[in-house]
Structure 1
């Protein structure tokens, strides 16, 4: 009886659809808890990640097997990112009206977001490889990993820095903006998207269409700027 139960449980755990079901269930549970409590520390991305990691450890399922079963999510990441063009298009007129303030925000915010992380790492004695890995932390994962690899950093570690930046921005960003009395949805969206990429954009979309549109704009511009200008800056200073 025991052997039969273990065999059945093993078959379920190692089924290709187990990882997909686990991921969706963890995210839905995290979303439900966040919607019910609105506690910043129950940010859905952070909580669902912890739930998935806990489940994998409890089930004895390796990350390699989980990643193989959930490969479809990586495939769908591209179309999901492209779909962020919808709020951009819906707010195109407002974006044109605020073109120069948007570009100024990108320049100042992008430099501060990148330089502050590198400076903090330098203060803690990180080596050059880790510093260049941390530098693209405010871009989306695919861009950050690519840029980190080009600069001689560690792409996998760059993904960790990106995730940490996004989660912290999603948790603390809205509260910090409220403390600073930043109420304009355009400004809030740009700040969240520029510093916290996809996670910040998802938080901004919960605040409204305009906020989400400018967050998508900030995330896109930050990604492009990081890919183009960060390697040039590193080649000058390193």
Structure 2
């Protein structure tokens, strides 16, 4: 077992297959809860546990996929550029929205960590949960956090955002695509942005923009809050 799982191709193949199954499952069921990323996470964990495959073996290939996180995030700039005119016309509400969104996210996490008396390492790990993984891990490590916990928090936040965002938009009757896109990007980074792109081109562009702005704001706020 260890021989064929001890190859980077195993981790890559398992991740791609699990995500493909998640995409097909969501297409067939139409259920928001069948988020492809959530399904992929569950399937990968299930396979590793069932076959007793060490995480280190899987991560040889899984770490290769992580290399694409930053380039994939940078590709969102294409959608932002296509809406440059809209961005120039609404730069002030966009900036204020991103700043407030980041402050509320980090403030709520900090308050809950203090309420439940979590230590500084755990607080630093959870604080940047609403920004994209490369930025979140960097912020976490800078302040003594645990990167693995940060990654889990970021993934769960993104999945919850992509599942709940369409429901909340309908519940609160959000009609403005700029507002919808910024709120999704500010709360659930790249995973939520994939859902925003499904809602519309403007929503996707604004959500992608929020990833960058909120990432920068989070870095600045972390210097003050931690």
TM-score where L is the length of structure 1: 0.88
Q: 2: CA distance between counterparts of 1:13 and 1:68? A: 9
CA-atom RMSD, angstroms?
1.7
Which segment drifts farther, 184-193 or 144-153?
144-153
Match runs of 1:135-154 below 5 Å? 135-154=127-146
Q: Per the alignment, do residues 108 and 10 of structure 1 end up closer, same or farther by CA in structure 2, a change over 3 Å counting? A: closer
Which segment drifts farther, 134-143 or 83-92?
134-143
Q: Which of 74, 82, 105 is equivalent to 2:74?
A: 82
Q: Which of 157, 163, 185 is equivalent to 1:193?
A: 185
Cα shift at 1:118: 1.8
Q: 2: CA distance between counterparts of 1:76 and 1:145? A: 15
Q: Which of 21, 39, 42 is equivalent to 2:34?
A: 42
Which segment drifts farther, 212-221 or 19-28?
19-28
Q: 1: CA distance between counterparts of 2:169 and 2:112? A: 22
Q: 1: CA distance between counterparts of 2:27 and 2:88? A: 34
Q: Which of 199, 203, 222 is equivalent to 2:214?
A: 222
Cα shift at 1:98: 1.1
Paired position in structure 2 for 1:173: 165
| Residue 127 of structure 2 corresponds to residue 129 of structure 1 | no
Q: 1: CA distance between counterparts of 2:35 and 2:102? A: 24
Cα shift at 1:12: 4.1
- Aligned partners of 1:147 and 1:231 also within 8 Å: no
Cα shift at 1:53: 0.9
| SS at structure 2 position matched to 1:17 | helix
Q: 2: CA distance between counterparts of 1:97 and 1:125? A: 44
Aligned length: 226
Q: 2: CA distance between counterparts of 1:152 and 1:17? A: 33
- Aligned partners of 2:158 and 2:189 also within 8 Å: yes
| SS at structure 1 position matched to 2:33 | helix
TM-score where L is the length of structure 2: 0.93
Paired position in structure 1 for 2:174: 182
Which segment drifts farther, 159-168 or 190-199?
159-168
User: Relative contact order, CA 8 A, sep 6+: which one is greater?
Assistant: 2
Cα shift at 1:153: 2.1
Cα shift at 1:22: 1.2
Q: 2: CA distance between counterparts of 1:67 and 1:49? A: 13
| SS at structure 2 position matched to 1:40 | coil
Q: 2: CA distance between counterparts of 1:156 and 1:112? A: 23
Q: 1: CA distance between counterparts of 2:77 and 2:99? A: 21
- Aligned partners of 2:193 and 2:207 also within 8 Å: yes
Match runs of 1:67-78 below 5 Å? 67-78=59-70
